[in-house]
């Protein structure tokens, strides 16, 4: 009897420590991580009991579980736990930024207070910034664009599109390029044996011939896009504040030019870039040099993955899985939780986001885009 009483008290104490937890606390808690990662039956019973006693924390627990699963699902074998911790921290940082933007004080109020207190500081900073930018402009090779700076000393063939229609170009390796109006591209008459390098100014769609021994590199504005063989689009106008790389099929790696040229070790280089797959894109902000991974504005069904998208009392988990396969987009959701949520809908002609809106309305769920993934949050459909 004493042993049983001790076990009850100990379990009760363990539950009490979680009553003040937030979403971030659950994500960082070792016991919670162990439960999500290994799903032991005893731990499942503990957390279900905790949810039953603390229904107000259910939403935070479910969101924390989905976020952790989005990390663990990439690791099917044992790896260094520090690598997982890094990805968890990066994911939490994005969640914090989202919450901060939602809870922020109105912009007009912030601007008024900041400038009222620091007007002299900002005036001085603006003058210094203008002088610095002017000096940098004059010293940067007489104001050459990135395209001119990279191609001026090389023996390259240049193709320009000065018309108002797209222009088709075939490269020496058989790769196909669609060059949009007022764009240009430079490349050698014959590619090197170890790599294929081209330089773009403007916008172009690439259909790269597969050649695992010779990576295909596109230099455009401040980015380097590295592929082995796939289809993607780069928009790199000289005067634009943003450069985008968007993948239609396959996978590409995107790097800042400075990182790509300075880091020689390939393993270290991987940590500097971003890998994007079908219906994902990278947006590079020129002013801040930041790269953001997100979903394409208009995701398309990947060839060979067509589906009818007509559902009658089909579990929401299956519907989301079919969308995931058709669009090759990483959709994170709790499969067990949504297995009891039936969906009846015809989703043939809607865009991906319209499909998701309809599904979430039917099952009373919500979704957000996070680091190039779609995360679906739901309390489930069990009564």
| CB-based contact 178:165 (threshold 8 Å) | no
> CA–CA separation, 261 vs 264, rounded Å?
7
| 318 part of a folded domain | yes
Integer angstrom CA distances of residue 11 from 4, 42, 145, 231, 368: 11, 12, 65, 55, 35
Same domain, 226 and 276: yes
What is the per-residue pLDDT for 131? 43
Same domain, 338 and 279: no
Same domain, 277 and 159: yes
Length of the chain: 383
| 139 part of a folded domain | no
Burial of 131 (0-12, 13-18, 19+ CB in 10 A): exposed
Parallel, antiparallel, or unpaired for β 183-187 and 196-207? Answer: antiparallel
| 115 part of a folded domain | no
State the first-to-last Cα distance of the chain, in angstroms, to the nearest integer.
36
> CA–CA separation, 87 vs 72, rounded Å?
10
Distance of CA 46 to the CA centre of its chain: 34
Instruction: Single out the residue in 102, 137, 167 at which a domain terminates.
Output: 102
* pTM, 2 dp: 0.64
Same domain, 173 and 283: yes
> CA–CA separation, 218 vs 235, rounded Å?
12
Same domain, 288 and 158: yes
Same domain, 268 and 176: yes
What is the per-residue pLDDT for 96? 61
Long-range contacts of residues 124-129, Cβ cutoff 8 Å, at least 24 apart: none
Same domain, 159 and 285: yes
**Domain span including residue 42:** 2-102
Of 202, 247, 241, which Cα lies nearest the Cα of 225? 247
> CA–CA separation, 141 vs 139, rounded Å?
6
Instruction: Single out the residue in 248, 266, 295 at which a domain terminates.
Output: 295
| 265 part of a folded domain | yes
Torsion from C-alpha of 248, 324, 374, 40, nearest 10 degrees: -140
Same domain, 182 and 76: no
Same domain, 253 and 321: no
- The SS3 assignment for 334 reads coil
What is the per-residue pLDDT for 19? 83
| 29 part of a folded domain | yes
Number of domains in the chain: 3
Long-range contacts of residues 2-6, Cβ cutoff 8 Å, at least 24 apart: none
Same domain, 158 and 291: yes
| CB-based contact 243:218 (threshold 8 Å) | no
Burial of 325 (0-12, 13-18, 19+ CB in 10 A): middle
Q: Which residues pair with 343 in a beta bridge?
A: 314
Q: What is the pLDDT along the chain (383 residues), one digit of tens a residue?
A: 433 443 444 455 567 778 888 888 888 888 888 888 888 888 888 888 888 888 888 888 888 888 877 776 655 444 455 556 666 666 666 666 655 555 544 444 434 443 444 444 444 444 444 444 444 444 444 457 889 988 988 899 999 999 999 999 999 999 999 999 999 999 999 999 999 999 999 999 999 999 988 999 999 999 999 997 789 999 998 777 899 999 998 899 999 998 887 766 666 677 788 999 999 999 999 888 899 999 999 999 988 777 788 999 999 999 999 999 999 999 999 988 898 899 999 998 899 999 999 999 999 999 999 888 999 998 887 64
| CB-based contact 338:320 (threshold 8 Å) | yes
| CB-based contact 203:183 (threshold 8 Å) | yes
Same domain, 195 and 62: no
> Residue for token digits 């596109």?
218
| 300 part of a folded domain | no
| 126 part of a folded domain | no
Same domain, 159 and 289: yes
**DSSP letters for 70-138:** HHHTT--S---HHHHHHHHHHHHHHHHHHHHHHHPPPHHHHHHHHHHHHHHHHHHHHHHHHHHHHHHHH
Taking residue 278's Cβ as centre, other Cβ atoms within 10 Å add up to: 23
| 133 part of a folded domain | no
The stretches of 104-235 forming alpha helices (DSSP H) are 107-139, 146-151
Q: What is the CATH number of the domain that holds 268?
A: 2.60.120.1440
φ and ψ of 200, to 5 deg: -120, 140
Q: What is the CATH number of the domain that holds 344?
A: 3.55.50.30
Instruction: Single out the residue in 236, 265, 295 at which a domain terminates.
Output: 295
């Amino acid at each position: 009897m004493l042993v049983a009483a001790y076990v009850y008290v100990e379990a009760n104490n363990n539950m009490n420590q979680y009553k003040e937890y937030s979403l971030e606390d659950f994500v960082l808690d070792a016991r919670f991580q162990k439960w999500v990662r290994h799903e032991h039956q005893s731990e499942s019973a503990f957390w279900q009991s905790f949810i039953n006693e603390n229904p107000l924390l259910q939403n935070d627990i479910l969101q924390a579980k989905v976020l952790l699963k989005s990390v663990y699902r990439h690791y099917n074998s044992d790896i260094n736990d520090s690598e997982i911790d890094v990805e968890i921290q990066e994911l939490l940082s994005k969640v914090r930024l989202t919450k901060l933007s939602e809870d922020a004080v109105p912009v007009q109020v912030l601007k008024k207070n900041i400038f009222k207190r620091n007007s002299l500081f900002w005036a001085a900073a603006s003058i210094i910034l203008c002088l610095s930018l002017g000096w940098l402009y004059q010293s940067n090779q007489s104001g050459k664009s990135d395209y001119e700076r990279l191609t001026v000393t090389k023996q390259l063939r240049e193709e320009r599109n000065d018309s108002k229609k797209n222009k088709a170009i075939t490269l020496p390796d058989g790769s196909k390029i669609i060059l949009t109006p007022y764009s240009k591209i430079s490349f050698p008459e014959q590619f090197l044996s170890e790599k294929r390098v081209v330089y773009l100014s403007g916008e172009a769609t690439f259909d790269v011939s597969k050649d695992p021994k010779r990576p295909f590199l596109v230099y455009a504005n401040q980015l380097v896009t590295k592929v082995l063989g796939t289809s993607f689009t780069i928009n790199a106008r000289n005067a634009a504040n943003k450069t985008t790389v968007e993948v239609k099929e396959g996978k590409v790696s995107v790097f800042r030019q400075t990182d790509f040229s300075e880091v020689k070790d390939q393993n270290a280089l991987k940590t500097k870039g971003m890998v994007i797959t079908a219906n994902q894109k990278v947006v590079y902000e020129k002013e801040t040099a930041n790269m953001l991974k997100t979903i394409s504005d208009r995701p398309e069904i990947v060839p060979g993955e067509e589906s009818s998208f007509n559902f009658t009392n089909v579990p929401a988990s299956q519907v989301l899985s079919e969308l995931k396969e058709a669009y090759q987009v990483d959709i994170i959701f709790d499969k067990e939780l949504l297995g009891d949520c039936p969906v009846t809908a015809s989703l043939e002609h809607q865009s991906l986001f319209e499909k998701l809106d309809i599904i979430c309305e039917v099952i009373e769920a919500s979704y957000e885009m996070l680091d190039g993934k779609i995360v679906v949050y739901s309390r489930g459909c069990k009564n």
